[in-house]
Amino acid sequence: MKDTMDTYSSYDVSDDERELAGLVRGFADDVIAPIAYEADRTHTLPLDVVAQMGELGLFGLPFPEEYGGQGGTYFALCLAIEAIGRVDQSLAITLEAGVSLGAMPVFRFGNESQKQELLPDLLAARALAGFGLTEPEAGSDAGATRTNAHLDGGEWVINGAKQFITNSGTAITRFVTVTAVTGEQDGRKQISTIVVPNGTPGFTVEPAYDKVGWRASDTHPLTFTDARVPEGNLLGERGRGFANFLHILDEGRIAIAALSTGAAEGCVQAATEYAHSRTVFGEQLATRQAIQFMIARMHARVHTARLAWHHAARLRDAGKPFKTEAAVAKLTASDAAMDNARDATQIFGGNGFMNEYPVARHYRDSKILEIGEGTTEVQLLVIARALGLA
């Protein structure tokens, strides 16, 4: 199959960005793809591979060098996420969440002391961090947060529960940033963000979920029972936690769109190779026009999804408004990933139902792309609001 990187000249990608994407694609093919099935089967996040990703500088791509980053752009990070998502979504989301939900809140809203203390290990993948937003009664309606925190003797005392928290229970997880109600402001809940180190008494990382997809990604529910952390663990301004998170979520949607695009492309690649190798009634499956048209539509979805996230990422890096474009990108790309996974599985026939084949894993993995970091319906709501319809 012709590598879609050959077409990147039409996407306004610089030579340095092309080189980065090629490097990560090679790493994904040589290091990640061979272990993806076993990691998925055993529900194991391969921390040795995460460490290698750290050595490549992937976790530090969009951060300044003064904190151990690469001094690159968010666009560069998304190129890397797309390249990995093509062969394994679990490691792609580990990178995406490690940056967007782990390190980025500290970089965006932390004070200088917090940045100096927390960022170097996160950007080198010596440590991971999670972001505790979602709760049993607060998903898309994050404003319904029930976890609460109050000050007592110079410490925050936190009580509540979080669910579906990525990178929260690995052997190298350093902390989780949690949203909590810290009072009332103008008659509404005052939501703040607080850094809670792993190992804090009263903070329990519950057993990992048995998930449909992303099975090698680390995901846990969390509980807080009078968990106490220093007052200085407040991240950003008190009462700005929810607003700050919405900004982080907009960025994360671009990254999820890039991951989705990679997954959609992985399905095109696998389906094309299989169509050439599979013989049906004495002819290659690739000679059948129905199959040709199906794969052509799959490729068109990848092309459109990539254009969408590229546009949103360029706007973000230029400091221009990108909220609506991020929603369009996530909507378009997650649809592409799910549609391509379904079509690729159909092309593989019975083999597509076997987890040893990448298309089966993409089929299971891709559904969450329409849910996580803002459901499809939330993206439609954001777009409708931008059009003055809501």
Residues recognised as catalytic: 373
| DSSP characters over 233-279 | GEESSTT-HHHHHHHHHHHHHHHHHHHHHHHHHHHHHHHHHHHHH-E
Copy the structure tokens of residue 45: 């996040």
Q: How many CA atoms does the CB half-sphere of 381 hold within 13 Å?
A: 7
The set of residues, in sequence order, having a beta carbon less than 8 Å from that of 199 and lying 6+ positions away, is none
Residue 374 backbone phi and psi in degrees, to 5: 105, 115
Contact 301, 336 (CB under 8 A): yes
Q: How far is CA 53 from CA 124, 125, 150, 165, 301, in A?
A: 9, 8, 38, 21, 28
**140: DSSP letter:** S
Query: Helices 33-42 and 358-366, interaxial angle, to 10°?
Result: 60
Residue 162 backbone phi and psi in degrees, to 5: -130, 155
